[in-house]
């Protein structure tokens, strides 16, 4: 029985991990391609990351909510409930992306003035951010549709969606960043256009999968004014999505504050840091992929009131997470020289990269297991504790430690890394304790 459950976890987790890895690999290739324009271009694009993620955190939160509701409805075999939640949230996402995306298009400069204090990279940041906001609808819709597909375990489709996004992004990057095959040299703007076109491709794949799928998920009635969710559904969405949105926003604002502190350092230091963060993005990809299985399977077990099965799925995911953490940590340290030499040529940068890889190896275990535990709580329907923990750790603790270790104690870029270690350690401990508490409160 345990072997069967492990196989089910891997059936969902493996494509989800690959999907997340594709995103990180694409980001790595993207950084590599933009690095041909110099360190300034790397920093310029990187400084758009936090405001961009604050914006998209709304849709990630709505996607998490959809995945929770759809997985529980799938456990109950209630197709009508699943689609009512999907359509209601998708309508909300479309409205927000159109309204807020338009506003941020016009406010791109003041936003980036706040987020990027490096005068030599500001204009490039503004250009990149403005293009992304103008066409944010594609990614917003893709996030919601893929979340619903993950909720019923169709992670193979979301993998194909991400592969399509990556393929289009790389090809258009090649054509537009430096100007090949007769296309104009658009530099950072070309990178932004490639990102938008990749999102459009991903959206098209996900939409086609639902429209031509097995029938459990459907968008029938999306444009009908007569089809609206019942009041209890709308209340559930407000409560659950509200907590997850608050969690994501506090998390992203916390990371933004740390990014603003980081932008006060020299661009040569921040370039190595941003490349080092790619390693943690790989770690997150594994954790996020495993979390897809955790949310889908614990949510399904919760909906069917099979609590022993829920515990078994969570234990299996913890073990998988530990194994992945160990393998990644060894790989980061052993392959550090090769990895950083792909982005930098100076020996000092590569030596700094090795120290960065060692820190990333320590953070990997804390990050992956913490993500699994938070996913377990979400699968159980618990959203308040993840929000409280994220608010404390990322919105308060991480910026405070960043200021402490860079301004009070002038450790420079290593102060930023020290703040990350403290934050992830506290986040890991609190997440583990709360997850165990919720498991203990369940029946059999």
Q: Which of 74-88, 109-123, 141-155 has the highest mean pLDDT?
A: 141-155
d(CA 85, CA 114): 36
Length of the chain as a residue count: 444
Q: Return the pLDDT at 369.
A: 93
pLDDT class for 213, splitting at 50, 70, 90?
low
- Across residues 258-278, what is the average pLDDT? 77
The answer, yes or no, to whether residue 117 has pLDDT greater than 80, is: no
The answer, yes or no, to whether residue 229 has pLDDT greater than 60, is: no
pLDDT class for 372, splitting at 50, 70, 90?
very high
Mapped onto helix, strand or coil, the DSSP state of residue 218 is: coil
Contact by Cβ (8 Å): 132, 52: yes
Listed in sequence order, the residues at least 6 apart from 372 whose beta carbon sits closer than 8 Å to its beta carbon are 287, 290, 291, 294, 314, 317, 318, 321
Integer-rounded Cα Rg, in Å, for the chain is 21
Q: Return the pLDDT at 331.
A: 93
Q: What is the pTM of this model?
A: 0.72
pLDDT class for 95, splitting at 50, 70, 90?
very high
The answer, yes or no, to whether residue 135 has pLDDT greater than 80, is: yes
The answer, yes or no, to whether residue 66 has pLDDT greater than 70, is: yes
Q: Which of 15-29, 222-236, 243-257 has the lowest mean pLDDT?
A: 222-236
pLDDT class for 443, splitting at 50, 70, 90?
low
What torsion, rounded to 10 degrees, do the Cα atoms 86, 59, 67, 232 define? -50
d(CA 152, CA 75): 9
DSSP state of 289: H
Question: Which tens digit of pLDDT belongs to each residue from 332-352?
Answer: 999 988 988 888 878 888 888
| Closest of 153, 189, 197 to residue 172, by C-alpha | 197
Q: Return the pLDDT at 18.
A: 81
d(CA 191, CA 32): 11
The answer, yes or no, to whether residue 408 has pLDDT greater than 70, is: yes
Among left, alpha and beta (phi > 0; psi -120 to 50; other), residue 164 is: alpha
Q: Return the pLDDT at 360.
A: 92
Phi, psi of 167 (to 5 degrees): -60, -45
Instruction: Kindly report the number of other CB atoms within 10 A of residue 252's CB atom.
Output: 25
């Amino acid at each position: 029985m345990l072997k069967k459950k492990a196989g089910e976890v891997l059936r969902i987790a493996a494509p989800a991990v690959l999907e997340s890895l594709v995103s990180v690999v694409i980001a790595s290739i993207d950084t590599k391609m933009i690095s041909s324009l110099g360190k300034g271009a790397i920093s310029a694009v990187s400084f758009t990351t936090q405001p961009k993620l604050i914006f998209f955190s709304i849709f990630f939160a709505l996607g998490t909510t959809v995945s929770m509701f759809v997985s529980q409805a799938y456990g109950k075999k209630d197709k009508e409930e699943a689609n009512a939640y999907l359509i209601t949230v998708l309508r909300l996402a479309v409205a927000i992306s159109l309204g807020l995306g338009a506003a941020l298009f016009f406010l791109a400069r003041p936003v980036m003035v706040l987020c990027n204090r490096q005068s030599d990279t500001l204009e490039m940041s503004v250009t990149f951010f403005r293009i992304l906001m103008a066409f944010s609808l594609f990614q917003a819709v893709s996030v919601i549709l893929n979340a619903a597909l993950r909720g019923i375990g169709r992670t193979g489709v979301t993998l194909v969606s991400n592969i399509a996004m990556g393929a289009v992004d790389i090809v258009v990057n090649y054509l537009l960043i430096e100007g090949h095959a007769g296309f104009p040299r658009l530099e950072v703007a070309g990178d932004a256009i490639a990102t938008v076109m990749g999102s459009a491709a991903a959206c098209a794949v996900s939409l086609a999968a639902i429209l031509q799928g097995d029938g459990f998920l459907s968008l029938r009635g999306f444009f009908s004014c007569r089809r609206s969710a019942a009041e209890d559904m709308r209340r559930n969405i407000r409560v659950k999505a509200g907590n997850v949105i608050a969690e994501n926003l506090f998390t992203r604002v916390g990371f933004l504050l740390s990014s603003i502190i980081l932008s006060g350092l020299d661009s040569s230091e921040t370039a190595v840091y941003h490349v080092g963060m790619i390693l943690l993005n790989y770690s997150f990809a594994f954790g996020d992929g495993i979390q897809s299985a955790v949310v889908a399977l614990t949510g399904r077990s919760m909906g069917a009131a099979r609590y022993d099965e829920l515990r078994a799925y969570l234990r299996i995911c913890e073990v998988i997470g530990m194994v992945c953490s160990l393998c990644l940590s060894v790989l980061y340290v052993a392959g550090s020289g090769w990895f950083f030499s792909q982005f930098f040529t100076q020996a000092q940068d590569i030596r700094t990269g090795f120290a960065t890889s060692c820190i990333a190896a320590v953070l990997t275990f804390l990050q992956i297991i913490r993500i699994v535990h938070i996913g377990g709580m979400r699968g159980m329907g618990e959203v308040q504790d993840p929000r409280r923990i994220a608010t404390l750790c990322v919105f308060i603790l991480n910026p405070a430690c960043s200021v402490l270790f860079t301004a009070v104690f002038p450790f420079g870029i290593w102060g930023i890394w020290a703040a990350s270690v403290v934050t992830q350690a506290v986040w890991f401990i609190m997440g583990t304790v709360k997850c165990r508490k919720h498991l203990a409160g369940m029946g059999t």
